[in-house]
Structure formats: C-alpha cells, structure tokens
Amino acid sequence: MNENCFLTNYNVNLFTAYVPVLNYLGTMPEFHDELKRYDLKVDGKIPDQAKEVLVYVFVTTHGDGNFQRGYYEMFTHQGGTEFTQFMNVATGQGVMAVNSANLWFPVGDGKLDLKLFHSSDRKRSIAGKREDDNEWSGVFVIGYRV
C-alpha cells in the first residue's frame, strides 16, 4: 500500500452502510476562542455500540470591517487521541457567507467539541442572524456506524 496515503492506518471499512438519524445538538460557537461541547449520545439516539458518527454542521456568517477569514476546529477524543477536522468561515463588510460540511468522527468519549478561531481583535459575533434568530448555524448527528 502507498505509504503516503492518509488511509494507510485507518481501520474502518469506508463502504459500510450507516444508520441514518437526525439529532440536533445546538448552534455553533459565534465568538473568537469560544468552545462548545456537545453530547453525541443525547436522547439515546446513538447506541453505546456506535463506533463513528456522521456530523453535519452549517454556519451563516456576516460581518463588518475588513474581510477576515477564520475557521472552526471540531474534534472528538478517543484513548488519548484527538481527532480534529476543520471548516473555513469568512466575514467582512458586505460579506454574507454560508458554509457546511458532513464529517465522520470516532465516537470516543461521546463528546464533540467545536471551537471558533477568528481575528483576535474581533469581539463581535460572526453570526449572520437577527437578534431573535438561532437558525444561523446548526450541529447535527445524521448517522452512525457500529
């Protein structure tokens, strides 16, 4: 096998069917350096035997000032290892952006952490929302594999 292949040590059959579910976990962090933790097994929809979860995230951003890029770091923990994935976000004057991703994670300790990294001088929310609107972002578990 090619030693440069990122799947060399990945011990999962990528063609195994998954069980679809729809489990809303909450909104994403909206401020720089904000960390949110979600319970992957909330409401008992993900069984203890689950090894992996398919997570869907989306975010709508809006901003003012100069164009700025940031990113979300998303991760689970398993046996002392952190499994991390990333999603880009952007803000700026006249910029409204939507981004989403479907990501597989090991279930590990049953928690999913999301942290927003954005310009350190930014004290305002990146959320593209009205004051009473919580539909600017979402974190869902949409499937699992055992």
pLDDT digits (tens, 9 = 90+) for 37-84: 999 987 788 999 999 999 999 998 877 777 788 899 999 999 899 999
Q: Is the pLDDT of residue 6 over 70?
A: no
Could you give the CA distance from residue 28 to residue 108 in angstroms, rounded to a whole number?
20
Close Cβ partners of 10 (under 8 Å, ≥ 6 residues apart)? none
CATH of 19-145, one of 1.10.10.10, 2.60.120.40, 3.30.470.10, 2.60.120.620: 2.60.120.40
Could you give the CA distance from residue 67 to residue 47 in angstroms, rounded to a whole number?
43
> 105-120, pLDDT tens digit by residue?
999 999 999 999 887 5
Bridge partners of residue 114, in order along the sequence: 36, 74
